[in-house]
Amino acid sequence: MKDKGRSIAEVSVRGAIVKRLPRKLDVMEGENAAFCVETRDAVEGIRWSRNGLELRETPCTVLKSFGKTHLLVLVHVTREDAGVISFSVGESQTSAQLRIKCAKRVPPSAPVAAEMSTDRSNAALLTWCPGPDVHRTPPSSYVLERQEASTAEWVQCLTTDLASMVEVLGDSVPAEADYCFRICAVNKYGRSRPVEFPGSVHLVPVACVRRALKDVQVQGGQDAQFSLELSASVAGSWFLNGAKLEEGEEGQRYCIKRSGTEHSLLLRGVRLAESGAEVKFESSGVRDSATLQVQEPPMRIVSSNEDAAHTYLASERVVLVCELSRANGPVQWYKDGVEVEEGEHLLLEHEGPHRRLVIPSARPQDTGEFVCDAGGDSVFYNISVTEPPVRIVSSNEDAAHTYLALERVVLACELSHANGPVQWYKDGVEVEEGEHLLLECEGPHHRLVIPSARPQDTGEFVCDAGEPPVRIVSSNEDAAHTYLASERVVLACELSRADGPVQWYKDGVEVEEGEHLLLECEGPHHRLVIPSARPQDTGEFVCDAGGDSVFYNISVTGRCQLLPALAAPTEPSPPPPPPPPPPPPPRSANPTPRS
């Protein structure tokens, strides 16, 4: 401008933050630090940080926003929380310096002039003075600790507010021993170093009997245990019939123990001659006694091999062993409740207290429960003897089984023992012996022979030496199972083996035996019997033998009954009409059985 004038304007920029953080905030350690910021509008995308690191919500860091108000609370701050706390939103930011003030925590100084006086018997007088700076860090109490001279452990024995002296009596210690003492000053900020009192003092607690001796009754040869408990741990002596028992002697029959306030005496292998002996315990001011009673011991089985696995294969040796408490004790052996007799197949051996039952070569019929009975004691042996599993030890399966028509085919295998059953299968179907196919057996040797092969004999043949599966060989499922109410229903089937288990089902649910439904079993024959049928018994019954099943469709209907007329005629009735001609014979309800 020509007059070289100038103009000044004040520019004000409105930011997003209305109420800012203070420049600094001082907080005592352990207290909460709270920061509050207000924005012009309710905004999102705010950010709190400390020393440039963003703060996240944690149990000790609380972040809240209420519309335009935004809060940060640091819970129980520590020295590590100090730093620059910043709040930012968009391009606006405000910061505060957080300073943590720490309170002085100074424990008291140690006591001085610690002295111990032992002028009184069985007591110690302990004196001390407070530390020189007691006015700056006064103690709230003094803690006194004791230590047995033979150990390194210090145990607190009392706390006192007196800053001068305390007397420790023998009644306050748990056991008789030489004791050392030390003391330290305590306030809410900690404790001073401990100061030991010079020297030691021998203290003896005054004891009384808390649990007295009791008479002991044992059998000859057993151990007898006597014990009592005192109110304090003090030494004592044991006497047997007036003779003092000394500890630590070689070959002694007794053992003396002391554990705290409990004293015990163990007499090993007491004899019948010691019955009525007096056992006495004495200590300072304490005396107690009891009597030993010894009885003749009964015969006992002290060891056996009953816990061993008594599972054997046929021809193996079986030895059942037990040891008695006396050599001259008689025993009886039983099998399944019947006393056994010695013979070639079963031997009974006797050597001192040892008894043995020996079966030199076990057989399956030796399976059962054996008992060795010694009168007042018994042991039980559950013996199981089974035939060894059948195995195929050799065969000609590796040979080339390629034949021309009319050639002879021989399939051979040898079993591990002669009486093992085998089944032959072709393409999964069990074969049947006939003119064209022969099944031969000579001891353990089994052969399938086709004297004159044909093309239709081509296929996979299998020799199975396992136990055959349970099959249902016959049943009455083909009968007409239609019944009237209250009639008897019998569903029967016969298994291929007597030991095969079966389950019965009705409409897919296994039945339970009861008054209305009976399940009978006689060897391989199984029956389901309903003594008096009801309409609700209608349904499909199944007998399941594992790999084989039969189905019975049962139908039960109600029974109809005609009632005679109740009114009597007043005039003679006319003669009855002639009877109608007889109806044709009814057709049989059961179809002709198939051949």
Please report the pLDDT score of residue 259 as a whole number. Answer: 85
Residue 247 lies in a domain: yes
Same domain, 285 and 330: no
Is the per-residue pLDDT at 565 higher than 50? Answer: no
What is the pLDDT averaged over residues 112-124?
Answer: 90
Residue 229 lies in a domain: yes
What is the pLDDT averaged over residues 547-556?
Answer: 91
Confidence of residue 442 (pLDDT cuts 50, 70, 90): very high
Is the per-residue pLDDT at 38 higher than 50? Answer: yes
> Residue 136: left if φ>0, alpha if ψ -120 to 50, beta else—which one?
alpha
* Residue 218 near residue 225, CB atoms below 8 Å: no
- Report helix, strand or coil for 356: strand
Q: Which domain holds residue 441?
A: 392-465
Encode pLDDT of 101-111 as tens digits.
Answer: 876 778 888 89
Confidence of residue 499 (pLDDT cuts 50, 70, 90): confident
What is the pLDDT averaged over residues 44-69?
Answer: 91
Please report the pLDDT score of residue 467 as a whole number. Answer: 65
Please report the pLDDT score of residue 452 as a whole number. Answer: 94
Is the per-residue pLDDT at 350 higher than 60? Answer: yes
Same domain, 290 and 222: yes
Encode pLDDT of 247-300 as tens digits.
Answer: 766 667 888 888 888 889 999 988 888 899 999 988 877 888 999 998 877 888
| CATH number, position 410 | 2.60.40.10
Domain limit, last residue, from 386, 417, 442: 386
Confidence of residue 145 (pLDDT cuts 50, 70, 90): very high
Q: Which residues are registered as beta bridge partners of 293? A: 217
Is the per-residue pLDDT at 545 higher than 50? Answer: yes
Please report the pLDDT score of residue 47 as a whole number. Answer: 92
Residue 78 lies in a domain: yes
Please report the pLDDT score of residue 11 as a whole number. Answer: 46
More confident residue, 560 or 422: 422
Encode pLDDT of 160-172 as tens digits.
Answer: 887 688 999 887 8
Q: How far apart are the C-alpha atoms of 384 and 15, rounded to whole Å?
A: 96
Confidence of residue 7 (pLDDT cuts 50, 70, 90): low
What is the pLDDT averaged over residues 144-148?
Answer: 93
Question: In the chain, what are the helix, strand and coil shares in percent, each to the nearest 5?
Answer: 5, 45, 50
Domain limit, last residue, from 386, 401, 435: 386
Q: How far apart are the C-alpha atoms of 414 and 403, rounded to whole Å?
A: 23
Please report the pLDDT score of residue 586 as a whole number. Answer: 38
Look over the chain and give the mean of its residue pLDDT values, rounded to a whole number: 86
Q: What are phi and psi of 273, to 5 degrees?
A: -65, -20
Same domain, 44 and 83: yes
Residue 366 lies in a domain: yes
Q: Please count the structural domains in the chain.
A: 6
Residue 347 lies in a domain: yes
* Residue 146 near residue 179, CB atoms below 8 Å: yes
What is the pLDDT averaged over residues 336-360?
Answer: 94
More confident residue, 581 or 210: 210
What is the pLDDT averaged over residues 121-134?
Answer: 88
Confidence of residue 2 (pLDDT cuts 50, 70, 90): low
To the nearest 10°, the Cα dihedral for 562, 566, 567, 573? 50
Please report the pLDDT score of residue 215 as a whole number. Answer: 92
Confidence of residue 14 (pLDDT cuts 50, 70, 90): low
Least confident window among 390-394, 397-401, 492-496:
390-394
What is the pLDDT averaged over residues 217-228?
Answer: 89
Out of 104-118, 200-214, 399-413, 490-504, give the one with best mean pLDDT. Answer: 399-413
Strand ranges (DSSP E) for 486-578? 489-495, 503-506, 509-510, 518-522, 525-530, 539-544, 549-557
Residue 419 lies in a domain: yes
Is the per-residue pLDDT at 532 higher than 90? Answer: yes
Domain limit, last residue, from 386, 407, 442: 386
* Residue 78 near residue 100, CB atoms below 8 Å: yes
Least confident window among 8-17, 205-214, 319-328, 406-415:
8-17
Same domain, 420 and 488: no
Please report the pLDDT score of residue 116 as a whole number. Answer: 93
Please report the pLDDT score of residue 558 as a whole number. Answer: 82
Same domain, 192 and 120: yes
Same domain, 135 and 81: no
Same domain, 222 and 190: no
Residue 120 lies in a domain: yes
Is the per-residue pLDDT at 587 higher than 50? Answer: no
Residue 594 lies in a domain: no
Stated as kind and residue range, the H or E segment containing 38 is strand 33-39
Encode pLDDT of 189-218 as tens digits.
Answer: 888 999 999 999 998 887 788 899 999 998
Please report the pLDDT score of residue 559 as a whole number. Answer: 66
Encode pLDDT of 375-390 as tens digits.
Answer: 889 999 999 998 877 8
Please report the pLDDT score of residue 91 as a whole number. Answer: 86
Is the per-residue pLDDT at 564 higher than 80? Answer: no
Q: Among all chains, which residue has been given the structure tokens 């594992």? A: 546
